[in-house]
Every structure is written in C-alpha cells, then in structure tokens.
Copies of this chain bind each other. A is one copy, B any other.
Amino acid sequence: MNHILSDKPGVRNLVEICAAKGIRYVIISPGSRNAPLNISFNEHGAFTCLSIPDERCAAFVAMGIAQQTGIPAIVTCTSGSAALNFAPAISEAFYQKIPMIVLTADRPDEWINQGEGQSINQRNIYHNYILKDYHLHLDTQDQDNNWSNNRMICEAIDISASQQGPVHINMPFREPLYGKRDYTNVSLPKIHQLQKTEFSLDSFTMEKCSQQFNSTAKVMILCGLIPRKNTELQQYIESLSSKAVVLSETTSNIQGKGIHHHIDALLTQYDKEAFKPDLLITIGHSFISKKIKLWLREFGPDDHWHISEDEQAQDVFQALTKHLRLSPNDFFRQLSLADNPDKTYPQLWKNHAVRVSRKHHQFMDSCPWSDFKAFSIILPHLPQYTNLHMGNSSPVRYIQLFPVREDILYNGNRGVSGIDGSTSTAMGAAYLSGQPTTLISGDIAFFYDSNAFWNHHLTGNLRIIVINNQGGGIFRLIAGPPSTGQLEEFFETKHDFKAKGICDTFHIPYYFAENSEELEAILPQFYAPQNNDRPAVLEIFTPREINDSVFRDYYHNLK
C-alpha cells in the first residue's frame, strides 16, 4: 500500500474505507474536479483503475464488472453533465440488481447555480433509480463532519453490497485539487460493517408451503434473471422438475434435465386452460417472454409465490399471493417433498416440448439465410464456458428459441432493457472474468454504444457479433409499425452503415459474413486462440426485408 494520496483527508478516508470493504475496481472518467479521487485510487495499491473517457460507457463498464462478482465497482467522474451520462447504467444496475458505487465530484455548494462551468445541482440527481444518495461534507477539518462522512461512506457501500444495487456519493471539492501528502503516521478511519443478514420463514409457514406444494397438482416454477451461476439452486430446481413444470429463461442461468427454456415456442400452440398452473412459483426477475406474461395475467394461477430477499415483490403476473422473503436456496433447501408426486402436469408439458422441439429442428433444416439462421449457426460455435451477453431487443428474444448450453453464462441488460450500453457491459465483464466473452448485438445497439471501444482496457477474450439487418429489426417483428407508413424512418431506423469504420478507428480486428457458408467458415477463425490479444468484431449482414417473414414462418410452423 502507498500512503501518499490526495492531500484532502476526506478522500484518503474514502479510499481506505473502500479498500477495507473489498472494493477492487474503479472506473475513472478523466476530469479535473475528481482529480483528488483519481490520484488516490491510482496511488493506493488496492485498486485496479480503468480510464474510460465517455461517462455513459464508463458506468456500464463498472456495471459489467460488478455483474460478474456481486461486489460493488466504483465509477467516478468530474462535476456537471458528466454525472448525467452515468444515469442510463445506474438505472439498469438498479433494476438488474447490480451493486455499484457512483462517486461524483462536485464544486462546493455555495458555487452551484452561480455561473461556474461544469456545475449543476448534483444532490439526489439519480433519485428515481438508486438505492440511496449521499452528499458528503466538504470541510473535513471539523471532526463531526469527518465522522459523518466516514459513516455515510460505510453505509453506502454496505447498502450497495447487501441490497445489490447502485448508491450515489456526491463529494464536493475546493481547489487546489492536485495536492498530495503522506499519511504514513495518520491513523485509519474507523470503519463499521453491516453484518450478513439471513432472512428465513418460521417453521409453521415453511411447513404450510411444503404441504401446499405437495398437494397442488399443477405447480409451475418460473425462473427469471439471476446474473451469476448458482449451482446449489440449480440442483434444487432440477430435482423438482419431476413434480413441477420448470420454465427457465436464459437469463436465469438455471439449466438442467427436465427444465424447459423455449417459453415463446412452447406458448405458441397450446391449450391455455389445461397448461395453466394452479400454483406459480417465481425466482429471479425481469421476465423476457411477453407471451407468458399475457397468458398468466389472463389465465391466472390461484396462487403465485415469489421468492426473493428483496424488500418488495413485483406482481408482474397480477396474481401474487405470497412474497416469501428469503433466499431461493434457503427456501428450496427447506422444502419437504412428498414421495411419489403426481407427474401428470409435468408430463403434459414434456410431451408438448418434444413436439415443439421436433418442429423447431424441422424448421431450422430448411430455414433460409436470415437473423434466425445466423443465430442457429453462431450458438453452437461459442467457445466452451462462454459468458454470452445478449443485446436488446432481438438477440435476447432469438436466443431464447435455441437450445441452452449448460456451460454458458447468459447475461443481458434486462433490468430496464434499454438499447444502450450492451457493449460496454460486455467489455467490463470480459475484463473482470478473463473467460471467453461474446456479445451478440443488433446493429442499432452496436452503433449506440460504439464508444465502448474508446479506451485502452479492451481484452482479447472479448468477441462482438453484430447482426446487421440495417435497422431495428424488432420493429418489423411486432405488429404495429408496418401499418404506420413510417416504419423505415421513425421505427426501424433503416440505414446502410457498417461497423468496419468504427473498428478501424479503435484498432479492432474486423470480420464479416453475408450468408450461411461464409458464417460457418469465418467463425473458427474469429474464435481462433491465436487471435486473443485483441477483441474482435464479426459483422453478419442479414436481409432486412426477409427476417420478419422468417420469424413469422417459424411461429406458423409451430402450429
């Protein structure tokens, strides 16, 4: 550890508290007002610091890092509109439940709204989509202020880590900003630490849950977004698949025998009444399938239990009856199963799934070149143990239709499901994990976040596949836009732009394919191990005006 840090004692305390609480990654967007922070995080020795100039990207990079670990990452910027560029990623972290410390430098309070440059009112600026906001005292000569700052910093990090979401610390600084001093003989700040809380049900409630679970003929377990693999939970869920119907979205990362993944395909031609559950149990959040939402809202289960440690349960199916506030692992560990459960309901679904799967493969055998075809070729080529990032909004929907791979970790920014920040998120995740990481992105999402490449921290394990269908293909897949007469300009955003120039700018190796044969041929080169010193982009051109009919044919074929 280096003891020569910013000469602002409050910054020294902040940095030491962060280090003590296990924070290791700091994303810095360069600036002058945050110089005391930048200097100190860099000098301290406990932190890996990444310099990312576009704040919008920087915050998504921090989120991508924390997504892989569950440990808060810091993102810091100068004062003014810089802070506002963090906002999209903060909202995604809030709804995706990713911990993050947003550390904004500020001018002293008295100078706000007095015509100074790079100054806006930064207090509570992310209030609508953050766990908590803190505004630190400027004067840390006063010992009460000093204590108060340290207390707030401890609390902020604890809240972010324990509740898994973003917090905001706004820190005003007076000039000069660049001074350093030696803290060798200065005692460390006092640090308090929230101890791990366990949520549990009393034995009576647990017993009643087990009884109802066992006595209900039609139980469905539906798994939504869980960003990291949870092997214990997966084993519990897998073992329940003989008693209950288990539907799992890719983003749940719960895979295994007897678990159904292709929800949108399964819910194409089916008996809505016969297939509906009496008891629905959900874990995770941010369900992707619109079909299952609409179905369950209309043909509601008698009971819907949501299991999560969150303070509030979302009622996305308009059927919620029990919020079981404990970890899903704890719940399923304690669930007592009856012997010889009635398997009629899961068998009904299994038979259905076999039919759907056969039709899926029949369709794929004769599927023409299209987005759909491209996905079918890409997915089996992904290297083992890939961390797959799925862009919004078409890729995540297409990928749900293909067989899941148990070795893959599936991530997607489905908290808010914005078009922004997928590449930066994947870049952060790849940096952190060192695992093979592939983002599959549409062209709109790719151009939106092309500044993800504008930094010196790109790693060679990152691959980006851009499905370029010359616009927002999703708008051709849904019913309304083609009827407006404004489809190409104001919905689809038709264009003829290509990723190559972006790649040239940032020295990223670039590959492309325009048909199935080219794609099959290029994928092994694209993933060749000798090309692992830089990330690479593979742009796949698909026919804009055919993709939607192929997509519709797919569903038609399932009928």
Contact = CB atoms under 8 A, between A and B. Distances in A.
Nearest to A176: B480
A231 interface: no
Contacts of A252: none
B497 A82 contact: no
B178 A481 contact: yes
A193 interface: no
Interface residues of A, number: 93
Given A35-B481, A486-B38, A115 B505 contact: no
Contacts of A91: 80-81, 84, 120
B124 A54 contact: no
Nearest to A486: B42
Contact of A420 (B32, B85, B414, B484): B85
A35 B478 CA distance: 12
Contacts of A481: 32, 35, 178
29 contacts: A30-B475, A30-B490, A32-B491, A35-B481, A38-B484, A39-B484, A42-B486, A51-B489, A51-B493, A80-B417, A81-B88, A84-B87, A84-B91, A85-B88, A91-B120, A115-B314, A117-B288, A117-B414, A117-B416, A119-B416, A121-B128, A121-B129, A122-B128, A127-B127, A447-B454, A448-B451, A500-B504, A501-B505, A502-B505
Contacts of A499: 505
A141 interface: no
A124 B49 CA distance: 34
A180 B314 CA distance: 33
Contacts of A475: 30, 32
A56 B116 CA distance: 23
Interface centre among A113, A315, A491, A500 (most CB of B within 10 A): A491
B502 A286 contact: no
A287 interface: yes
Interface of A: 28, 30, 32, 35, 38-39, 42, 49, 51, 53-56, 80-82, 84-85, 87-88, 91-92, 94-95, 113-125, 127-129, 176-178, 180, 224, 285-288, 312, 314-316, 393, 414, 416-420, 444, 447-448, 450-451, 454, 456, 472, 475, 478-481, 483-484, 486, 489-493, 495, 497-507
A291 to B, nearest CB: 14
Contact of A115 (B285, B393, B478): B285
A70 B414 CA distance: 39
A100 to B, nearest CB: 14
A30 B492 contact: yes
Contacts of A316: 114-116
Closest 6 CB pairs of A and B: A178-B480, A501-B505, A81-B418, A501-B504, A115-B316, A117-B417
A51 B479 CA distance: 21
Contacts of A55: 420
A338 to B, nearest CB: 31
A288 B49 CA distance: 32
B39 A486 contact: yes
